[in-house]
Amino acid sequence: MRLTTKVYLATALVATVGAASIGSSNVLLSYDSKVSGIKAVMTENTAMIDGTSIDAISDAITIGEVSVQPMSITYVDPEGGVSLIHDDGPALTKDLPSESLARAVKAPIESGSNLVSALSLSNGGHLLFVSSIAEAQAERTADLNRTIVLYLFTLAGMVLLVWLTLRRDLRSIRRINSAALKIANGDLSAHLPDKRGNSEIEQLSRSLRSMVSKLQGALDAERSSKAAMENFIGDASHELKTPLTVIRGYSELLPNADDALRKSASEKIIREVDKMSSMVNDLLLLARLGEEAPTQLTTVRLDELVRDAFENLKILGPSRPIELKLIEVELASDSELLGRFLANATSNINRYVPQKAKVLVTLTAKGKKAELLIEDAGPGLPAEAYRSGIRSFKRFDKSRSKTAGGTGLGMSIMAGIAENLGGDVKLKKSALGGLCVKLTLPLR
């Protein structure tokens, strides 16, 4: 059943129940009020007559003549004979059954369009007082007819009002439904009604627009990720192909080589195998960082890890000027991953930053985050690298000389570690003129 039909049926039901209940109640209350007034007069008149008196009949005639409510009075003798003694109202067209007569003695009862009240006499006869309620019944019928007409007009008005109120929302629902079908079929450019307000339809439209926007963002991210993955696979294939080619070439020389050439070829093969092994280990680490969140967090003194890492760098280059500005920072993290991050950072400095270039390391805590800045006065990176961001780097950075060694995945591993630990890492131009690596971690 369509929503429009349901709304109209619900409106009709509410209008029917409401109007019928209110109108019928008013009509019945008005009718009961009039009939109760007549009953009160008849009861009062009957009470003024003493049924044990020999003058009961004459008293009844007198009361009938002066009564404000027109009535007829009939005398029923003990043998069942009927005599009309006062004719100022409707006469009974048939005798009352004994059961009805007994009830009429206690209180006036309705008999057709009449009210009948009875009084028992001492001789065994009865006086029957009859008043008409035909006028009250006619008014009740007229009131009911007017109520029905009013109800029909009210129902039509309410249906019209509902239609005028909901037609725009119903039109919006149809548009939303049409757009949703297009979206389900892959058309994210489908137009959704852009209405301002607080109705449920407007909220639904805004929610759907938000959903479509997020879906579009997710699709764009998926396309970007797919393109990056294709580039990554291409670069990885190229980097793995080079050592494999070298290994195959030297392997073909071994059968006919002399001792000196055999020794040289074996050493080069081992170096290329080590390079491939290091690259595969880095790829596996990247895959693990992208799939797993750290589960075994321990309390780590970040300042101590930083100090140890740069003391090791100092050993590799005693003449390198290194300045540490560290505060005590304790956080719940993975010391192994943090150690790998710092090892990559110091390895990059050792490979690409001249020995005489200054290195400045600053560790601070701001709010609920720890910030580590590693700056150097080396050559830095190309300007495009700072604009693109670390996640936009190619996996094998062509701006670094391959003669320096390494797999080219160091920056990607550092970014993966930061993300895995709930933080982030950014690259920017250092105030010293070289590269600044900024690591931000939550203080959990």
pLDDT of residue 396: 36
**For residue 186, is it within any domain?**
no
Q: What is the pLDDT of residues 115-155, one digit of tens each?
A: 898 888 888 888 889 998 888 888 888 888 888 888 888 87
pLDDT of residue 199: 66
Same domain as 433, residue 300: yes
| Distance in angstroms between the alpha carbons of the first and the last residue of the chain | 55
* Dist. CA 50–CA 66, nearest whole Å: 17
SS (H, E, C) 203-260: HHHHHHHHHHHHHHHHHHHHHHHHHHHHHHHHHHHHHHHHHHHHHHHHHHHHHHCCHH
Same domain as 312, residue 280: no
Cα 314 versus chain centre, distance: 57
User: Domain range for residue 207?
Assistant: 194-292
pTM of the model: 0.49
Q: Which residues pair with 73 in a beta bridge?
A: 86, 129
Same domain as 256, residue 337: no
Same domain as 317, residue 265: no
Total count of domains within the chain: 3
CATH number of the domain at 237, please: 1.10.287.130
The yes-or-no verdict on residue 405 having pLDDT over 50 is: no
Write down which residue in 108, 138, 168 finishes a domain: 138
Which of 73-77, 242-246, 317-321, 336-340 shows the lowest per-residue confidence on average (mean pLDDT)?
242-246
Same domain as 310, residue 273: no
Average pLDDT of span 75-81: 83
Same domain as 388, residue 371: yes
Q: How confident is the model at residue 287 (pLDDT cuts 50, 70, 90)?
A: confident
**For residue 167, is it within any domain?**
no
Q: What is the pLDDT of residues 299-350, one digit of tens each?
A: 999 999 999 999 999 998 899 999 999 999 999 888 888 999 999 999 999 9
| Nearest-10 crossing angle of helices 3-47, 134-184 | 160
User: CB under 8 Å to 186, separation ≥6 — which residues?
Assistant: none
pLDDT of residue 354: 92
Q: Which two tokens stand for residue 247?
A: 């290994």
Q: What is the pLDDT of residues 425-436, one digit of tens each?
A: 998 899 999 999
Average pLDDT of span 397-416: 61
From the list 295, 293, 439, 299, the residue with the least C-alpha distance to 369 is 439
* Dist. CA 373–CA 364, nearest whole Å: 9
**For residue 91, is it within any domain?**
yes
The yes-or-no verdict on residue 395 having pLDDT over 50 is: no
Write down which residue in 292, 314, 331 finishes a domain: 292
Same domain as 421, residue 334: yes
* Dist. CA 177–CA 277, nearest whole Å: 56
Same domain as 314, residue 231: no
CATH number of the domain at 416, please: 3.30.565.10
Q: Which two tokens stand for residue 28?
A: 């019945």
Write down which residue in 239, 260, 292 finishes a domain: 292
CA angle 78, 118, 90 (to 5 degrees): 105
The yes-or-no verdict on residue 443 having pLDDT over 70 is: yes
Q: How confident is the model at residue 412 (pLDDT cuts 50, 70, 90)?
A: confident
**For residue 151, is it within any domain?**
no
> Which residue has better confidence, 440 or 154?
440
**For residue 170, is it within any domain?**
no
pLDDT of residue 393: 41
Cβ-count burial 257-288 (b if 16+ within 10 Å, e if not): eeeeeeeebeeebeebeebbeebeebbebbee
Same domain as 329, residue 303: yes
Same domain as 206, residue 99: no
**For residue 155, is it within any domain?**
no
* Dist. CA 435–CA 386, nearest whole Å: 9
Same domain as 230, residue 333: no
Q: Which two tokens stand for residue 320?
A: 């390198």
* Dist. CA 306–CA 315, nearest whole Å: 14
Query: Is the separation of the CB atoms in 424 and 350 below 8 Å?
Result: no
* Dist. CA 51–CA 119, nearest whole Å: 7
User: Could you give phi then psi for residue 113, rounded to 5 degrees?
Assistant: -100, 20
**For residue 61, is it within any domain?**
yes
Same domain as 15, residue 124: yes
**For residue 161, is it within any domain?**
no
